[in-house]
A and B are shown apart, each in its own frame.
Chain A
């Protein structure tokens, strides 16, 4: 579901620094953030001390190996975290380099002065010319320019930024490649998009997300419970007339506490955010990513998301007495000068249906351009006036015709077209109504299937459109959305989000305009388009650098994948305990009650090799699961029931069975090598 990753997870330039990072993260202050691994490190240190000071009957080589594998378990955990952070670090370094070289031409008191970008404050105004880098986030207040945003988005095709409207936001570090613009800075130093991105990809200020905190509490709880279980064993053994060496107790404790998930927990979180970043979506917090997994309702704008956005001519509908070819030819003439996709599609349709070859207007033809007032366009060829436009506008421009029978018929056609999800465009020639062109919103290929997948995941999709309810209903049916909001104003959108939230649902939406900002802020997950206004980018809790609204669907998947990876590894980790018990309990107690040897179902060679094998398995399973932790568990959209069944079978039953095989194999190796 994510795009093919350009970079493998395990290249030397990522692995080597991670090894160093793994050791640096052994600092107690860093380690204590992960209580389970902290306990492991404490136990490993204790054993190290006892190696010298302790007195028991165990061979020194055996104890040395135990200590070694305990430390390795800790190191594998810190390594996983360092590896997850590694890729982000590299990205952050190049962003920093971009940031360091930024300077600005600040306009002050009529003149301009050269200052470092770090001196800019919100409300300063700067001038950025061709070839210059935008010094800080802001809004274009004057001029229009093409900007290369590759530094942020990785997309090298330039985009247009202009004053006013929804394409006015510019981002620090992007390059103006033509023209000059005046930009009002909107952020103070350190608050900008680039700063946020650096912090984000670096994972430096990574806060534990609510769900991560809850899981950590569960893991700590399990650790405490098993600590009691192990700490009381010596007393029980004393009762039975024996003693259990501390090293063996330590091994039991470490194998029982959930080290596997604890070691990988932060790596999972970092990798989850990183997947999003590589997917060109910036989440302002981990909380937002988790919320994405919980989304119940998805609000999607029709245009650009569900439909291609350009309406295409699909049919010519004539009023009685008019031939289809006449309408087609007239429409073609009216559209030859119309360079919009709509206009071109009319020309194309006329050619396809009736083979009209004309591709130029006759000489002397006068083009009547579209204006917002008339909402008409057309052409005057000699004495002939051809008009094309919205039905109401054409009727209004031809009051005489509006009373005719043809007008009644045209209105009927209009309703029919709307009902079919289309938009009618009326055509008139010299005040005579000819008919209408059916313009159709083309629903994107494959979108229906994607909504089906969302429905399987339990997510309802609501289409937001400015169309009238008739048209909206038709498109909604064609695209397979669950519901629609027609003739929607920004207020309607906001109200809809509030209603859904009051009923306890989590809502996601995307938007780009300033008037989307309140809804973006209200939504639980608001994805702002990078092409959008600064207000929208501020209001949303994610920014899509590619400005692709359909990505919201993938973002939901990524959020779910993050939580699922945590759940799967927790289940796996806890289920492993059963097999570990079967390895260590007989090894520990067989001298007290020989009958307990019956529990050695794996047929492990000696008590020492059994304990060693369990602790080696416990350590090795961490690096073995690192790829899973970093890539996330495989996720295909389906209902929660089947998904749970699948994951329980895979990670629950797998977690029960796998260590039996793993420990047995390690035991064979341990004995083959004569390690115990």
Chain B
């Protein structure tokens, strides 16, 4: 580890925390439906959209209605995407004349992008037409991110409203978030990426003559625009297979830094906005503090493991940290940090190959996802996942001070506990059972590149990434098979919507409750004690389930490595 490495990590964390409040205030304005400076430009678009679709943005929805509209919207999007991918050969915008996407891959990809996962079983530059990239995928990058933030707003309203029957209007939320947050920021970022050398063109790939006299196809396309929302919306699906390790996606150290910031900034802003929404910003800061602690712990461990390198290689006379699978222009610290950032959020963009990380360096991204990506988390999903843990933490802690538990003024009772447990249990249920299925069936075993614990880690990582809607890959797995495309597709769908529906039910149930003001008898959900308790509950409830699988995967891998064995 180097001083420069730590300066990078701490400066990054500092800048993010500094951005939390302005971003949070912006989000809070959208949450409340207030005007923002960009209304001047986009408000006519919003009004036009409502007029065209006949939506009344002021019509409040109960949680069931909100959930149904959200589901219908997402199912429709998934179906359209499937159709588009299957028909890309006959549709325009296909300068490279790619064939239609095969059914299992189209199924997987349609769900993947709808569920804000962006798991890619394909190489974008050699599979997807420009139309597919732009219309199907980039559009999803906006809408799935907006859906996530809208859902967080719905849950905030559950906490903030008193004796209310409704939690907002899904269409208004999604429209406003897209127009007044994601679109303007993406435009600014895309311009920045273009200025940094990221291509933005509708032309196809070009053929170049190399110095050796060979020929090379250089893929081009509308990269900068996709790049901006890929990170901002914690989508992670790259234009190129190499994702942000590709110099056309992420050319410089500065773009790398901006990418990392844009992955986490909305997630952090939402934690602050939560505090505003419930009328006590210290509640938001407490959540931010717990998230930051988990984030820095994970980053420290990954950086240490990567910087320490592989003792087997050291014995062979190759000193230094682990540079396998990393871009030299980023180095160890920026790669380790990027890996933690992308799995802390449900982004899944990568600037290095996680499969090539040391066992412990790879364990942290895996564990981050297994916790449900609540360490800052994806846009919307992070904060609502975190609040589910907070509900359980407050339940146990509330009992310990002799009161029926309450959180930010709402009593937490049997219904909330039931729904929170349901939502939290989905994650281990699907990750572990699908991993088990893949690790004993021939079709599953055909996937991993490596044998032994590392191969197991590859399978575990794939299903973890899918269920947690991350989308990053432990690259060793050959996932473009009907088995993996199908199973991962199902995993992504369940991982997204089977958590959302109970979460919305909690929002509805909380909104209907009266407000219980906090007194000296209710323990404070703001101080250091609460932050420590949150961290503890997340690690114990979220993490303990995965210990056997981690022991047989990365931990066994690591122990073999330090004993000088090649597994």
Residues of A within 8 A of B (CB): 210-211, 213-215, 217-218, 220-222, 224-226, 228-240, 256, 290, 293-294, 296, 455-460, 503-505, 559-564, 566-568, 570-571, 574-575, 577-578, 581, 585, 588-589, 592-593, 595-596, 598-599, 635, 639-641, 643-645, 647-648, 651-652
Partner of B402, one of A210, A460, A643: A643
Partner of A224, one of B425, B440, B519, B556: B425
Partner of B551, one of A218, A455, A575, A589: A589
Shortest distance from the beta carbon of B556 to any chain A beta carbon, whole Å: 4
Return chain B residues, CB-CB under 8 Å to A236.
435-436, 439, 456, 548-549, 552
Contacts A235-B437, A240-B552 given: A290-B404 contact, CB under 8 Å? yes
B418 at the interface (CB under 8 A from A): yes
Return chain A residues, CB-CB under 8 Å to B398.
563, 567
Extra contacts, 16 of them, besides A217-B417, A236-B439, A236-B548 (Cβ < 8 A), are A214-B395, A224-B425, A232-B436, A232-B549, A239-B440, A240-B453, A256-B544, A293-B402, A294-B403, A503-B517, A504-B516, A505-B516, A570-B399, A592-B552, A596-B556, A644-B529
- Across the interface, do A293 and B421 meet the contact criterion of CB distance under 8 Å? no
- Across the interface, do A635 and B414 meet the contact criterion of CB distance under 8 Å? no
Partner of A596, one of B429, B456, B540, B555: B555
Partner of B400, one of A240, A598, A644: A644
- Across the interface, do A228 and B560 meet the contact criterion of CB distance under 8 Å? no
Q: Mark B554-567, 1 if CB is under 8 A from A, else 0.
A: 01100110110000
Contacts A228-B429, A235-B439, A568-B400 given: A214-B519 contact, CB under 8 Å? no
Shortest distance from the beta carbon of A40 to any chain B beta carbon, whole Å: 19
Contacts A504-B516, A593-B556 given: A563-B402 contact, CB under 8 Å? yes
- Across the interface, do B404 and A645 meet the contact criterion of CB distance under 8 Å? no
B399 (CB) vs chain A CBs: closest residue: A567
Residues of B within 8 A of A (CB): 392, 395-404, 409, 412-414, 417-418, 421-422, 424-425, 428-429, 432-433, 435-437, 439-440, 445, 452-453, 456, 514-517, 519-524, 527, 529, 533, 536, 540-541, 544-549, 551-552, 555-556, 559-560, 562-563
Return chain A residues, CB-CB under 8 Å to B516.
504-505
- Across the interface, do A232 and B563 meet the contact criterion of CB distance under 8 Å? no
- Across the interface, do B404 and A293 meet the contact criterion of CB distance under 8 Å? yes
A569 (CB) vs chain B CBs: closest residue: B399
Shortest distance from the beta carbon of B263 to any chain A beta carbon, whole Å: 29
- Across the interface, do B540 and A593 meet the contact criterion of CB distance under 8 Å? no
Contacts A229-B432, A577-B544, A644-B400 given: A217-B439 contact, CB under 8 Å? no
Return chain B residues, CB-CB under 8 Å to A504.
409, 514-517
Shortest distance from the beta carbon of A508 to any chain B beta carbon, whole Å: 13
- Across the interface, do B414 and A210 meet the contact criterion of CB distance under 8 Å? yes
- Across the interface, do A647 and B404 meet the contact criterion of CB distance under 8 Å? no
Partner of B404, one of A235, A294, A648: A294
- Across the interface, do A564 and B400 meet the contact criterion of CB distance under 8 Å? yes
Contacts A581-B544, A593-B559, A647-B400 given: A232-B521 contact, CB under 8 Å? no
Q: Give A296 to B440 CA distance when docked, in angstroms.
A: 57
- Across the interface, do A233 and B548 meet the contact criterion of CB distance under 8 Å? yes
21 contacts between A and B (CB under 8 A): A218-B421, A226-B545, A228-B428, A229-B546, A229-B548, A236-B549, A290-B404, A457-B521, A504-B514, A563-B398, A566-B399, A570-B396, A585-B547, A585-B548, A588-B548, A589-B551, A595-B562, A639-B521, A643-B400, A643-B523, A645-B529
Q: Give A588 to B560 CA distance when docked, in angstroms.
A: 17
Contacts A221-B421, A290-B404 given: A228-B523 contact, CB under 8 Å? no
- Across the interface, do B402 and A635 meet the contact criterion of CB distance under 8 Å? yes
- Across the interface, do A640 and B522 meet the contact criterion of CB distance under 8 Å? yes
Shortest distance from the beta carbon of B526 to any chain A beta carbon, whole Å: 10
B430 (CB) vs chain A CBs: closest residue: A228
Shortest distance from the beta carbon of A288 to any chain B beta carbon, whole Å: 13
B441 (CB) vs chain A CBs: closest residue: A235
A214 (CB) vs chain B CBs: closest residue: B414
Partner of B523, one of A226, A256, A640: A640
Interface of A is mostly: helix
- Across the interface, do A228 and B520 meet the contact criterion of CB distance under 8 Å? no
Q: Give A221 to B392 CA distance when docked, in angstroms.
A: 11
- Across the interface, do A215 and B399 meet the contact criterion of CB distance under 8 Å? yes
Q: Give A389 to B427 CA distance when docked, in angstroms.
A: 78
- Across the interface, do B409 and A229 meet the contact criterion of CB distance under 8 Å? no
Return chain A residues, CB-CB under 8 Å to B412.
214
- Across the interface, do B418 and A217 meet the contact criterion of CB distance under 8 Å? yes
Shortest distance from the beta carbon of A567 to any chain B beta carbon, whole Å: 3
7 shortest interchain CB distances as A-B pairs: A458-B521, A567-B399, A560-B402, A595-B559, A221-B421, A458-B520, A235-B436
Partner of A640, one of B403, B418, B425: B403
Among B402, B529, B560, the one with the most A-chain Cβ atoms within 10 Å of its Cβ is B402
- Across the interface, do A589 and B552 meet the contact criterion of CB distance under 8 Å? yes
- Across the interface, do A593 and B453 meet the contact criterion of CB distance under 8 Å? yes
- Across the interface, do A639 and B556 meet the contact criterion of CB distance under 8 Å? no
Q: Give A256 to B428 CA distance when docked, in angstroms.
A: 15
Q: Give A652 to B535 CA distance when docked, in angstroms.
A: 13
Shortest distance from the beta carbon of B439 to any chain A beta carbon, whole Å: 4
Contacts A577-B544, A643-B401, A644-B401 given: A595-B563 contact, CB under 8 Å? yes
Partner of A458, one of B392, B522, B548: B522
- Across the interface, do A228 and B397 meet the contact criterion of CB distance under 8 Å? no
Shortest distance from the beta carbon of A231 to any chain B beta carbon, whole Å: 8
- Across the interface, do A232 and B432 meet the contact criterion of CB distance under 8 Å? yes
Return chain A residues, CB-CB under 8 Å to B524.
640-641
Return chain A residues, CB-CB under 8 Å to B456.
236, 239-240
A502 (CB) vs chain B CBs: closest residue: B514
Shortest distance from the beta carbon of A342 to any chain B beta carbon, whole Å: 39
Return chain A residues, CB-CB under 8 Å to B403.
293-294, 560, 563, 640
Q: Give A237 to B422 CA distance when docked, in angstroms.
A: 27
Return chain A residues, CB-CB under 8 Å to B453.
240, 593
- Across the interface, do B520 and A644 meet the contact criterion of CB distance under 8 Å? no
Partner of B435, one of A232, A238, A577, A578: A232
Return chain B residues, CB-CB under 8 Å to A233.
548
Q: Give A214 to B411 CA distance when docked, in angstroms.
A: 12
Return chain B residues, CB-CB under 8 Å to A220.
421
Return chain B residues, CB-CB under 8 Å to A560.
401-403
Shortest distance from the beta carbon of A420 to any chain B beta carbon, whole Å: 31
Q: Give A575 to B533 CA distance when docked, in angstroms.
A: 12
Q: Give A645 to B453 CA distance when docked, in angstroms.
A: 41
Return chain A residues, CB-CB under 8 Å to B546.
229
Q: Give A651 to B395 CA distance when docked, in angstroms.
A: 15
Return chain B residues, CB-CB under 8 Å to A239.
439-440, 445, 456, 552
Return chain A residues, CB-CB under 8 Å to B432.
228-229, 232
- Across the interface, do A455 and B520 meet the contact criterion of CB distance under 8 Å? yes
Return chain A residues, CB-CB under 8 Å to B520.
455-458, 639-640
Q: Give A566 to B397 CA distance when docked, in angstroms.
A: 11
- Across the interface, do A221 and B425 meet the contact criterion of CB distance under 8 Å? yes
Q: Give A647 to B399 CA distance when docked, in angstroms.
A: 10
- Across the interface, do B545 and A225 meet the contact criterion of CB distance under 8 Å? yes
B530 (CB) vs chain A CBs: closest residue: A644
- Across the interface, do A641 and B418 meet the contact criterion of CB distance under 8 Å? no
- Across the interface, do A647 and B414 meet the contact criterion of CB distance under 8 Å? no
Return chain B residues, CB-CB under 8 Å to A296.
519, 521
B455 (CB) vs chain A CBs: closest residue: A239
Q: Give A635 to B401 CA distance when docked, in angstroms.
A: 10
Q: Give A596 to B403 CA distance when docked, in angstroms.
A: 42
Q: Give A222 to B549 CA distance when docked, in angstroms.
A: 17
Among B440, B519, B549, B562, the one with the most A-chain Cβ atoms within 10 Å of its Cβ is B519
Q: Give A294 to B404 CA distance when docked, in angstroms.
A: 6
Contacts A224-B425, A229-B548, A457-B521 given: A217-B414 contact, CB under 8 Å? yes
Contacts A218-B395, A239-B439, A505-B517 given: A577-B540 contact, CB under 8 Å? yes
- Across the interface, do B413 and A596 meet the contact criterion of CB distance under 8 Å? no
Shortest distance from the beta carbon of A267 to any chain B beta carbon, whole Å: 16
Shortest distance from the beta carbon of A425 to any chain B beta carbon, whole Å: 41
Partner of A229, one of B399, B428, B552: B428
Shortest distance from the beta carbon of B489 to any chain A beta carbon, whole Å: 20
